[in-house]
């Protein structure tokens, strides 16, 4: 599903975020990317979502070489991915419903389908009763769940989550991780960036550990 071949990333100013990283993620896999701050975890997600471009190497996503993707095609590539951010990136002047509906509006779904799908997603994350509220009126855990609802509403084949439980207490973190496990069980590839050791021990079937931009371990839990 996702293959990284000798990926390196150097930011302007000379900082090496990643150097010579190679791994592949199969379809339907749930993978954690762990490491200290500045290890390059988030950069990997940004490279997969084409928010950043690698300085070297190649990324193959769904049999497509991302290096050869034209600028105008990048939005269509992003529509295949459900991206979840630590700070949610919600639109504060739009209701919960409007925030979740945004990916479907961009893709061009019919209104009645948008209604069905958004409600299904909000129901999934337990926020259906808040559909008309503004996100800022809700707690940070609820806001995080709106972000998740928005990411899953277009039923992507891949979910990339960047520190999705970073601001949440352990109970809420478990709730959110259970959602990811549920998505993964129906065949969705899930990549979670986290430095929460408890989370990794409990859910980490496969953990890629980064240190100073290098892949130092590719751990798979034995069954």
Partner 1 sequence: MPYGAAPSGHDYRAKDKSARSTNGVSSYRQSQYQAHKSAVKWHEHFRHYLKHHAQSLIQALMQQLRSPFSSLLTYGVIAIALTLPTGLYLIADSVKSMNQQWNESAQISLFSKKSVSLPKIQGLADRLRKHPLVAHVKLMTSKQALAEYKEIYKGRNTLQLLGEKNPFPSILIISLNAALANPESIEKFANKLQQHGETQTILLDTLMVKRLSKLIEIVNRTVLVLVIIFAVGIFLIVGNTIRLEILNRKDEIIVTKLIGANNGYIRRPLLYSGLWYGVIGGIFACIITIISTVYLKTPIAEFSQLSEARFQLSILDANAILIIIALGASLGWLGSWMASYRHLRQIEPT
Q: What residues line the site for partner 1 (CB under 8 A)?
A: 49, 51-52, 72, 75-76, 78-80, 83, 89-91, 102-103, 106-110, 112-113, 116-117, 120, 123-124, 150, 152, 154-155, 157, 182-183, 186-188
* C-alpha to C-alpha distances, 102 to 71, 176, 181, nearest whole angstrom: 21, 21, 24
DSSP 129: G
DSSP symbol at 102: H
Tell me the closest approach of the beta carbon of residue 218 to partner 1, in angstroms. 28
Least gap, CB of 207 to partner 1 (angstroms): 24
The distance of closest approach from Cβ of residue 201 to partner 1 in the complex, given in angstroms and rounded to an integer, is 25
Query: Quick one: 186 or 222, whose CB is closer to partner 1?
Result: 186
> Could you tell me where the DSSP H helices lie in 27-160?
41-48, 74-78, 96-107, 111-124, 140-152
Identity of the residue, 37 or 72, whose beta carbon is nearer to partner 1 in the bound complex: 72
- Tracing tokens 């990926």 back to the chain, one arrives at 7
Q: Which is nearer to partner 1, 39 or 90 (CB)?
A: 90
Closest contact distance (angstroms) between CB of 101 and partner 1 is: 11
Of the pair 116, 220, the CB lying nearest partner 1 is at 116
For residue 75, the minimal CB distance to partner 1 (Å) is 4
Query: Is 178 within 8 Å of 172 (Cβ atoms)?
Result: no
Cα distance between residue 151 and residue 83, in whole Å: 6
Compare residues 144 and 154 and give the one whose CB is closer to partner 1: 154
Q: DSSP character for 133? A: S
Closest CA to 48 of 191, 215, 218, 211: 191
């Amino acid at each position: 599903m996702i293959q990284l071949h000798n990926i390196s990333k150097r930011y302007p100013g000379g900082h090496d975020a990643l150097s010579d990283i190679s791994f592949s993620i199969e379809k339907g896999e749930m993978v954690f990317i762990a490491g200290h701050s500045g290890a390059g975890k988030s950069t990997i997600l940004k490279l997969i979502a084409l928010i950043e471009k690698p300085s070297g190497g190649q990324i193959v996503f769904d049999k497509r070489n991302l290096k050869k993707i034209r600028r105008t095609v990048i939005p269509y590539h992003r529509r295949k991915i459900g991206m979840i951010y630590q700070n949610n990136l919600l639109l504060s002047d739009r209701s919960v419903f409007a925030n979740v509906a945004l990916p479907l509006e961009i893709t061009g779904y019919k209104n009645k389908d948008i209604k069905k799908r958004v409600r299904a997603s909000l129901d999934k994350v337990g926020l259906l009763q808040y559909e008309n509220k503004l996100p800022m009126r809700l707690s940070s855990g609820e806001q995080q769940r709106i972000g998740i609802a928005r990411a899953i509403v277009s039923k992507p084949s891949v979910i990339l989550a960047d520190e999705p439980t970073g601001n949440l207490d352990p109970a809420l973190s478990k709730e959110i991780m259970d959602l990811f496990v549920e998505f993964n069980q129906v065949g969705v590839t899930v990549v979670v960036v986290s430095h929460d050791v408890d989370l990794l021990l409990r859910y980490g079937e496969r953990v890629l550990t980064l240190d100073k931009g290098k892949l130092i371990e590719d751990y798979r839990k034995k069954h």
